[in-house]
Structure 1
Amino acid sequence: MILILRRMPQWFFQYTFAATAATIVSGAVAERCEFIAYFTYSIFITGFIYPVVTHWAWGGGWLSQGREYSSIGATVAYQDFAGSGVVHVLGGMAALIGAILLGPRIGRFHKESGTVGQLRGHSVPIAALGGFILFFGFLAFNGGSQLSITTKGDGAAVALSVVNTIISASFSAFGSLIINRLHFLGSSWSLLATINGALTGMVAACAGCNSMYPWGACILGIISSVVYTAVSYLLKKLRIDDPLDAVAVHLGGGTWGVIAIAFFDKEDGILIAGNAKSGYKLGWQLAGLLAIAGWSAAFSLALFGILKLLKILRVSPELEEKGLDIPKHKEPAYPVEAYGHGHIEQLIQIMENQPKELQFRTFNFRCFSSVLVFFLNIESKVHTSITFG
């Protein structure tokens, strides 16, 4: 019983990692995936796909054991401190397979013109809030992977992990902002690209945030921004619809992170030591990367393929056009009555009772209110027709 109690913190920590691997997929299949399919793949990823890989890399499996090389008198093994490969490559590859088998959302790609349709999210500020929540969550995700804080050296390792995570995220966010400002990518100061760039930098830092110098994290973040932008651009060219850029962030960032630690490790990195052990280390990182990606791809292909054959992978075009919240779940995500009904008239009365110098503002407010009420009434009728029609 004491042993079980001692392992409960590890249970909780691994629970969060398994949940992360599953939720990565949801971003790539958003707005068109059946709920039963989402429920099914979440069970298989957390219950089978992820546990096998975490045993390989962290539970005494072949990746964590490595191999002893007599020529250098040392054992070399796969290194992945906080899951660039174990969590993010695994989840990102499953997301890629799911997005391919589901196909793009209606209106995402125009066959005649070959252009990419803009299916925007409902709230950039809320997306920014989510990005900040993830930013702080990654500090615990990476720093907590030390799994101890009481033995000598734990504090320094956790501190280095947190600092490198922040540095990599910051440089990647800034790089993504600048790259997106270039004319061939749309010439805009994109907040969404900046958020995803920061996330990619943190994903890449997972593998070696505890064992690289801060200057290495700077380079890691800069290249992460290039990786994110390139993968996102490539997916659009291949007409693969990934609404949240989950593949670019997690598969792209995770792949780069697994490889990068072979170059930036402060003891055995190619750029630091540059010896035979560094070469073996790169080989083990590539072997682990291929094994994890291959395992995730094979199982995801079988799982999503079966769901597609059973015709329970994707919702009907009618449901996709209407949205799943009302016709499928009978719960509107954004009920119209919560957006001003019963309150606009009260606001108009308050404004009319203001001093004369505010009459012009009151007139403008009345015009705005009339337009708002008009559109709210139209929206209410649309929601009613969808619900009961």
Structure 2
Amino acid sequence: MTPAQTITLNQIGHDPSRRGAPSTPNRGIEEIRGKVLFAAGEDAYAVAAHLRGSGTGIVLTGSEAAGQLRRLRATYPKMPLIADPKVYQDYTATLERPFAMPDADDQLSGLPAASLAEIAQAQLDQGATLAVLPMGYLAPGDAGPLRSAVAEANELSLRDVMLVVPADWSWLRGSHLKQFIAIVRQSTHPVAVALNNKGNALDDAACLHGYRSLFEQVPNAIAWRTDHNGLGAVAHGAAAAVIGFRASLRHISVEGDFSRSPENKHPQVFVPDLMMWGKSDFLRATYFTTVPAAGCTCGGCKGAAPDRFRDTPADILAGNLHNVDAFLADSRAMLTDPAGAREWWRQRILTAVQAMERFKLEAQRPRLKPRADIENWFNELV
């Protein structure tokens, strides 16, 4: 198994008064606190160049993540960097083995398999800001593997490590939520939570409420592999958020649950004023047929419409970087004090709902409505 490496993401709305400091001092979480990081794959080098000087960084994904980490660390010595091993794609955590660990008979030399501490240390040696502990997928219903993962991680004396919990979305709903929060609160290391769902888990109102509660109650929690909802997590106390600028990077997908359309190469772009996503050709053909899209004020668009991108390699990259710039602008606009951050997010949601109301009147399309997750936030906050 290739050693995993990772860094943590950003928090702006952290409230120290309601959070217990981790028992193990962690420099990595402080290095990325107040930042939004971006999940990237084969386009990591272009994204890193685009982020130069921004103060934020990258979570590397895919089979080349370890090599990318080493090369990017040599070029960008101060940039927060992480490599997500994504072991949860192929391994489900169990009570006895919550982490995806190499077996002794996998070692060509016949030497003992690497320990959890050695896997984490290898990531740090390769330049990771924080090392990721490779937990398997947390399936619905049985909390035993999560308890085991937290207990085993707490035994590590390493400082700059984090526990990524790739959980089924049902853990943040109903009676499961209280148990999930109680267990992850016992971690002495930062805990990053990613949700597996066939679509967007936060389209479910109960899950979104649980998502908000998680970051309000768990010290140094991180929103992992998410979308614009990462900003809401940060506003409600998350230590950081990892946002994917492509659909495949915004969610975890266990056993191919998350559907995509690889034959359509148009970039999926974020429309900031409406807080909605769509492939650029779909937006042109379906939404902005009679009323043009509002100009985007992010650094890359400079007033141009976000649905302009075609399916050429240059436009695909430009569309992805538009998403990066749009979230950088939002993260910089969010106030740093906890109350200010929560109010900023409330206003951001309210403004998006109002913008959709205006748009559907102008376009004479009365059935249009905000995304389900935006409506859920509206009902939670406004």
Q: TM-score range by the shorter chain?
A: under 0.3
Q: Give the strand-richer structure, 1 or 2.
A: 2
Q: Give TM-score, length-normalised by structure 2.
A: 0.25
- Name the structure with the higher helix share: 1
Higher relative CO (Cα under 8 Å, sequence separation at least 6) belongs to 1
TM-score scaled by structure 1? 0.25
